[in-house]
Structure 1
């Protein structure tokens, strides 16, 4: 049978364990039908075969971001980007410039703020109020689990004091009961965000299309979407009616505390939904918040006496909910950052009855963990999902950052133990958590090997013993990503019979120094045997 697509490159990393050199891949009807040499490829051609030659480039299985939030980004990535801000004065200057572009009374938005900027100064609305000219303002902290609202924003949302929240400290107030402007976790942030005028559906659709195109051109052929927000289903279906999505998306709706059995059943029913390149195929849980805002679940509190409680008021209810989905063969993914939260999630998965269908469950983030916890991943067969740039962008080797300061030296030294997880035999899928951190996979692959930002050569590495090898980093975006999504039989390697999803690199990711890899180009992607874009050498 002749191929309808042949892809050629000087180097092809199949990642399927094969030893002979490969330079050519044949595809028919979106499936890989042959691999071999350029000479072999001559026998695969017909007059109708499309041939794509990446020349001296390198072809790998298609890159997959193991954790991202493209629809959530429509609400988060608004206004000015504060990721480069390093002082309170720079924050105020950035907000002043953004406010100057808005009309009287219009909202001012900003995102990506690192709380390390504040040092020992508490996050408080008075720090930003006087530069806003009375405008309402919502500043989202980079972790998306906290935000800072101006006085006018609080008033617009009708917030003048504390509110009871089942899942988090919520709206932080001073001793007199007045809101400080600091909002912790989803319920509190949503209380203010609900007062924000929403973009219309067409605007959101256009922005999402732009986001997805950018993900594709960065080299991604798929993404594990860790949410199913308000209009996600409508947006994805509408985009696919117009054309193919430029990458595959696997979505995981949230299961929150207080869910009834009817709620769980409704979430389970979502697993039937999907399109040609998107599907709902897992459930997302939160067992804790974040270390940076004091809402993680640690085995003992941080230096501020915080991060001592789970997100679910009764962790037993979380366990019951996970078991509900596991008994139906539905995979789960649990956000767990603190060591106590990770331990409870591991114990929950380990206690799933043996009668349940055999599916892989996963834990997201895993920011600080003991040796016992690390060994637990292999013992329970749980996939670890981690984001290397959370470490390289937001922590420092000298522990002067907010995350490390809160934990103290001992626990900060147990940060993002990627290499240890691989050494015990755990599946390790890598990703960005975009928009929490940038999505470009090449710099993430580099940072995973360097344990520092690739563009800051003078920075000391954070936990250098946890650096991944080039192969381990690439596997985190390919073979291990497929395994963590339950797709190892159809994706993750360039193997006859699997999906024809490929990424082409200017440089060989297994033989190029990390800094050079981060600065190089992606030459193209192929999804299901369809070329998404080509940027030839």
Structure 2
């Protein structure tokens, strides 16, 4: 029995860019018929939902190539600081948030851009007295660092430097007192774990809210770069309630010191809409906080170490996953980190290994992705929103002109034969996929599209950007037998101007044949 029939649309092939068919029929979560309206109408039964798309464009379901919908639901609690462009605005927003606190409540904030500190240190003292006496946890936009107030450090028992197995740090002043800046997850968690947590039910409701928002933006799936046992339990509970609107591929983290065995055993766990299929590793941190791994130090003499204390152990760990048939996704931002991951994968099988982020690349690394069958997973809006064409931003100043000119080389990787997958890395950048594709095309900040693009020669074509969030990310081509994951847009995304694409209305989202978002007038 046919469940859904869409008529009077334009079915867009993400490989050819052509829209030659107008109708599609869905049954049991799969596409069972495509063609013109006349040929598909016989599929309609008495219980079939039939929608007249009135010329709207159907694409394969848009997939976010790199996102964190569960941990992001926690990380985005509290004040949104992403719109603060200077210290005065930050202090004003924190003052507003502080006044709204109940007695004893912690202040949470997220999306803090380090550029607003300029040449001043990122510290609780620089923020000023607005945080005095208040336990506050402010997450920087990259999610690799946290700024904690002195009261939060006190409650967490953080009184001086700590040693970690990974490349993490409690930043301290010359007297050994914590400044409030915590670099990388192990250091950040010292304070995060001291803060009160929402109940399980509150957290599940928050994750469900995030996923509904993703579906409304046109997403039908995501490569979820997380998936520990607690996160899997959240998805399982939502799935059992019928509240899971996206198809999620999970890659739980493997940290230095972890044994591969448990992660190998977890592969395949899940159900129709969510499944463990891979692992996530880290080769470095971020350029903005000086924890990336570069061939040469940044302007502060930082970013010279790998996240793994012994990179050779990383290589052995990846080899164990490869031998077990488990695809790996490795966070590698700096050129030295990317090089080491590629070297580690040189003898691997072509089972879908990926490198995430790839923010600065020298020429010699470009052809190796195609040679080794390694996917380049990139987030173009990070370039758009957090760097500047004139290289006056923190990221570019740290790297210097030559390396900043090699920013997010999406086009060069594509032309070198690499499979390029696009994503948001939400909550680092907004998740709406049309915004991600727009950023890949215009490379300008969404908040001010009049600004010049950063590296316009690295812009993708409209068709490349669409492929980066459909077939390259694992969707079908709107053919019979493909999964019925569909995104319906008000107009053809290949012909909408680059700077208007992000505002293109999403008319309908369908995941596994189920409508997860529908415009009110459709």
- TM-score w.r.t. length of structure 1: 0.94
Q: Could you tell me how far apart the structure 1 residues matched to 2:484 and 2:8 are? A: 15
Q: Could you tell me how far apart the structure 1 residues matched to 2:13 and 2:243 are? A: 26
Matched, 1:319 2:315: yes
Deviation at 1:106, TM superposition (A): 2.0
8 Å CA contact retained: 2:218, 2:487: yes
Q: Which runs of 5+ in 1 are unaligned?
A: 483-490
Higher mean alpha-carbon deviation, 209-218 vs 25-34, is at: 25-34
- Determine the structure 2 residue equivalent to 1:403: 395
Summarize deviations over 1:434-460 as a string: whole Å, max 9, x none: 011111111221111101124523201
8 Å CA contact retained: 1:82, 1:91: yes
Q: Could you tell me how far apart the structure 1 residues matched to 2:161 and 2:199 are? A: 31
Q: Could you tell me how far apart the structure 2 residues matched to 1:342 and 1:406 are? A: 18
Q: Secondary structure at the match of 1:177?
A: coil
8 Å CA contact retained: 1:9, 1:59: no
8 Å CA contact retained: 2:360, 2:408: yes
- Determine the structure 2 residue equivalent to 1:220: 219
Q: Post-superposition, which runs of at least 4 consecutive aligned residues in structure 1 deviate over 6 A?
A: none
Q: How does 1:83-482 map to 2 (within 5 A)?
A: 83-128=82-127, 130-229=129-228, 231-259=230-258, 263-352=259-348, 358-482=350-474
- Determine the structure 2 residue equivalent to 1:495: 479
Matched, 1:516 2:503: no
Aligned in 2, Cα 1:19/1:110: closer, same or farther, shift over 3 Å?
closer
Q: Could you tell me how far apart the structure 2 residues matched to 1:10 and 1:82 are? A: 40
Summarize deviations over 1:313-350 as a string: whole Å, max 9, x none: 11111111111111111111000000000011111111
- Determine the structure 2 residue equivalent to 1:5: 4
Higher mean alpha-carbon deviation, 64-73 vs 452-461, is at: 452-461
Q: Which runs of 5+ in 2 are unaligned?
A: none
Aligned in 2, Cα 1:104/1:20: closer, same or farther, shift over 3 Å?
closer
Q: Could you tell me how far apart the structure 2 residues matched to 1:453 and 1:104 are? A: 38
Please give the root-mean-square deviation of Cα atoms over the aligned residues, in Å.
Answer: 1.5
Deviation at 1:520, TM superposition (A): 1.9
Aligned in 2, Cα 1:117/1:9: closer, same or farther, shift over 3 Å?
farther
8 Å CA contact retained: 1:525, 1:531: yes
Q: Could you tell me how far apart the structure 2 residues matched to 1:137 and 1:208 are? A: 23
Q: Could you tell me how far apart the structure 2 residues matched to 1:34 and 1:168 are? A: 53
Deviation at 1:16, TM superposition (A): 5.4
Q: Secondary structure at the match of 2:93?
A: helix
Higher mean alpha-carbon deviation, 89-98 vs 3-12, is at: 3-12
Of 492, 498, 507 in structure 1, the residue corresponding to residue 491 of structure 2 is: 507
Q: Secondary structure at the match of 1:52?
A: strand
Aligned in 2, Cα 1:35/1:398: closer, same or farther, shift over 3 Å?
same
Deviation at 1:515, TM superposition (A): 2.1
- TM-score w.r.t. length of structure 2: 0.97
Q: Could you tell me how far apart the structure 2 residues matched to 1:338 and 1:9 are? A: 48
